[in-house]
Chain A
């Protein structure tokens, strides 16, 4: 019925346990000494499983999951957790939705799991399996562009405010722009995770509830507990509270999304776009399609290249664009790889001050492109650079093991997005086996300038919220 394994987590003294139950639900326990526990449940759904009619529903559902169950009324979970000093929240992205509680363990008698923790586990499981999504919490549908609407505004309006908030964040705005450019029409990653005002204002409650029941199936869920507990006592509690049958949740749920990378091609040509905003400085992101996340060797090699290119103090871009010029035009530059189920993405992001240069945005970006090109051709990554980057990546990896939430998030992302514990457990082994030649080859393969998608936000007239929404609709129709 169930399958149990032990795994050795890097930098932690005790072995972790992984239990997969007959219905497909996975439970992971990571023993960690200390006063803090973390409970999280990762669901294998996100905007990946949406279409143009329900774009934003995964994230809207995440908000509504906090609105009560048969046993607990809306707000009761928040109050109970925060009155013990726990930090609670959730996040939705393209491939995943996850919910977490980080709290103080409090006192526990021998052989007992502790009141704080037990209440947290009970309420968390009840919320994951039995959220009722009450109509009155969703609020009546309304036209978000009608300035005269005077009716009730509930959670729909909160999410619409979140959309507005994100529009006021320059980095989010430029990310959405480059993200849109990187995928072909119809690709599930092309849409913004948060959706549009029109959809959030109007999507029926039943559509949301059906989506919840479809995707929050046992096989799509992984619950991770990190803390100082006895495994046997804990596992008994997990079985009691994650009782899917009690909620009539069939083990034969939908399972994983049928969306696969092979179904889509990426636009193949280099692309460049400028948008205007009411800014003094220029924000840009340059994106490149990276390796499949399961290809650990290439993914980790790209992490090393990223460090050399733009992450460390001594990195190429930091030195060339920020530290060496007598008159620095760039204010900020960094880079990094994002892990996605349908293919990783490598981003270089930065900000520059157009008043400091006679040139156009394109001219300014050429300085950056020149540095990147040098790394790919005449001056590849050296042994010294390689060694420093590997050391820093190991330190960063160790750092995530210092907190209960850091460990949980790394495991959660590995299992939910990459689909395997290996992405976490084997990271250091793969890193240790890399050589500089491999890193240079991987950098050349993925970071070539003729595969770059660049979006720049330059000072000019800004678009209003309504314009942005109309743009979005055009794209989606």
Chain B
């Protein structure tokens, strides 16, 4: 059994109904808060609506203009941003303790009193930013991959969908309704890490986010089961022509079960072995080192509250497209047909467990990791148990999950010169 650092997180429910996840770190110079509001794209009546809400939070409140908010943030040690994902909107804030009160006075102001007066302008800005992002062929390939694998549901909200939906987002009422339902103390999960007493954090959160009558929103059961039931009926290929592209950018992926599923650990391990570890993974050794087909080749496993995805990526000389797709099939085939060796399995376990220390070095990383996992439905005990679950996986488990999930139909997304599409 490898020694894995245990988390020192304590969970409590505050008087306002919010959940507090407190991780003391005596050496951290700054306090790190990751505040999660379950909701996010899954609740969007129009894909991208919650993204607009989160972008507008700091663009004006009943008592502060956008410019005043900006000046105030820049005058504190506070760094604050917000983002929206499939399952939540999150506000991340770091500050020195001397600015704790001033920071939360400001955060509470936009938590309760955002006016959304910049709605039209922000729509135009998000359109511009999405277009800028999609000017990168790799981003375009990723965008159409996610969009297709989630079959146009709001769970797969990506830039191009937001662009398509912006003309339909003409109601400020829908924006305000999302805000009203999601931004409530009972829906708030505050994950904090740093050198501060738990009582002090609790009192700040209770003071600035007083209890009210609103209940936390929930995902409708039929929507939840629809997302959980998503499947790819047959292999699909989506393409986008970019004739000035120097490479073909290829994604190939499969739908996976959600974060709490029992196969999580085994899938994490085959991801590490296939292309998640870095320079020593199978895809890297075969397609990059031996065949020289790419600079960037890797695999990624992402899990969400209701679903997960596993995908491979390669950027290659356009004429190598077929060779790369064949290479993908061969490497995935090996996982399905041949049990991984004991040595490879042990290396992969040590890789996953060792990297946890590296990626949980700062207070902000810890606050975010714990809060995000909790928001995806894991209890603190389950978060603690992840290392021992990884430990327990056998070669037979890996082969079984590879056979279960990687024999299903996949989605391939390619962006490159039209002659190869």
Contact = CB atoms under 8 A, between A and B. Distances in A.
Interface of A: 11, 33-36, 66, 74-75, 78-79, 82-88, 102-107, 116, 139, 147, 152-165, 167-170, 277-281, 283, 312-315, 318-319, 322-323, 325-328, 330-332, 351-353, 356, 387-389, 391-392, 395, 398-399, 401-404, 461-465
B294 A327 contact: no
Contact of A78 (B69, B278, B361): B278
B350 A83 contact: yes
12 contacts: A34-B361, A85-B352, A147-B319, A154-B289, A161-B294, A161-B296, A277-B135, A283-B135, A314-B74, A328-B125, A332-B128, A398-B29
B113 interface: no
B134 interface: yes
A88 B279 contact: yes
B65 to A, nearest CB: 10
Interface string B253-285: 000000000000000000000000111100001
A86 B348 CA distance: 12
A332 B136 CA distance: 15
A167 B136 contact: no
Contacts, number: 217
A194 to B, nearest CB: 10
B358 A103 contact: yes
Contact of B128 (A87, A104, A318, A328): A328
Nearest to B290: A154
Contacts of B317: 160-161, 164
Given A153-B291, A465-B246, A322 B27 contact: no
B280 A82 contact: yes
Contacts of A103: 354, 358
B292 A168 contact: no
Given A86-B354, A164-B246, A312-B74, A332 B292 contact: no
Interface residues of B, number: 72
A395 B77 contact: yes
A356 B356 CA distance: 46
Interface string B224-267: 00000000000000000011111101000000000000000000
Contacts of A283: 132, 135
Contact of A102 (B28, B358, B363): B358
Contacts of A322: 125
Contacts of B354: 84-86, 103-104, 106, 116
Contact of A331 (B5, B59, B132, B291): B132
Contacts of A85: 350-358
A303 to B, nearest CB: 15
Contact of B357 (A36, A159, A327): A36
B121 interface: yes
| 7 interchain residue pairs of minimum CB distance | A85-B354, A462-B244, A157-B292, A153-B292, A331-B128, A83-B347, A104-B357
A169 B136 contact: yes
Nearest to A312: B74
Given A88-B278, A161-B292, A168-B136, 17 more contacts: A78-B278, A78-B279, A83-B350, A84-B351, A104-B354, A104-B356, A158-B289, A158-B294, A165-B247, A169-B136, A281-B131, A313-B70, A323-B66, A328-B121, A331-B128, A332-B128, A351-B128
Contacts of A353: 127-128, 131
B55 to A, nearest CB: 12
A388 B358 contact: no
Contact of A463 (B244, B293, B351, B355): B244
B166 to A, nearest CB: 13
B28 A402 contact: yes
B288 interface: yes
A35 B350 CA distance: 15
